[in-house]
């Protein structure tokens, strides 16, 4: 493991992870209220987690291991730097590095400028996934996949997307999640963890652009090759 690249064991830190996740959902809902202004009602139901106890009644998730939290923030900081470097040269529309309180992950999305059909008519989906995009992110592990990992997906993903071979060699497709993954353990074991992570993000984007037929010039800009000035 390279200096500054913290190992993250979901098995060891799950109780603390769930506590931080629950508290981040409270903060996320409060932030939404502040942004909306006026009188609103907060739904205390937790989102995107296996437990259903309302957040204002939850007394189970109260574990806080300082060492595990330090490891998480160390890893999350490195992951955020990778995502920011991946996004920086892109000449199309993109998001900043977002921290999602629902899934407790970090992610950036790069857009082609073309519309897309949302995967469902759910309020969140129809408003957040109505454009063609490639998303690359990082999570510290969850009950679906008990390891910290980088992930990448395309929306909509055209036939052939799952068959791609990405860099580095440890990257692979996960059928259950419908995403490409690069485990954090493989990142920290690499000679250059930042470069390995960036290779994953860029190779996932190149593959998605080729399969999903994005503008080649726009796709090339993510590798630091901007279109010529005319």
* Structure confidence at residue 34 as a pLDDT band (50, 70, 90): confident
Contact 134, 165 (CB under 8 A): no
Q: Edge-to-edge, what's the strand order for the sheet holding 98-100? A: 98-100, 105-115, 131-139, 149-155, 179-183, 172-174
In angstroms, the CA 222 to CA 202 distance is 7
Q: Is the dihedral of CA 17, 21, 108, 3 positive or negative?
A: negative
pLDDT digits (tens, 9 = 90+) for 94-108: 999 999 998 999 999
> Can you give the pTM of this predicted structure?
0.92
pLDDT digits (tens, 9 = 90+) for 169-200: 999 999 999 999 999 999 999 999 999 999 99
3 state SS of 189: helix
């Amino acid at each position: 493991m390279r200096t500054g690249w913290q190992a993250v064991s979901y098995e060891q830190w799950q109780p603390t992870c769930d506590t931080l996740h629950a508290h981040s959902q409270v903060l996320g809902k409060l932030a939404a209220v502040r942004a909306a202004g006026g009188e609103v009602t907060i739904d205390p139901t937790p989102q995107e987690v296996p437990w259903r106890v309302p957040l204002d009644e939850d007394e189970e998730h109260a574990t806080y291991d300082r060492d595990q939290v330090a490891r998480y923030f160390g890893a999350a900081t490195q992951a955020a730097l990778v995502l920011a470097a991946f996004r920086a040269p892109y000449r199309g529309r993109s998001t900043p590095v977002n921290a999602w309180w629902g899934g407790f992950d970090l992610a950036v999305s790069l857009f082609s400028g073309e519309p897309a059909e949302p995967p469902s008519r759910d309020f969140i989906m129809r408003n957040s996934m109505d454009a063609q995009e490639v998303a690359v992110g990082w999570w510290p592990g969850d009950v679906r996949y008990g390891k910290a990992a980088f992930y990448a997906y395309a929306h909509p993903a055209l036939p052939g997307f799952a068959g791609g071979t990405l860099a580095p060699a440890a990257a692979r497709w996960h059928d259950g999640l419908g995403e490409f993954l690069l485990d954090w353990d493989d990142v920290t074991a690499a000679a250059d963890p930042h470069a390995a992570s960036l290779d994953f993000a860029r190779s996932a984007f190149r593959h998605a652009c080729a399969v999903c037929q994005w503008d080649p010039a726009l796709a090339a800009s993510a590798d630091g090759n901007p279109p010529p000035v005319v």
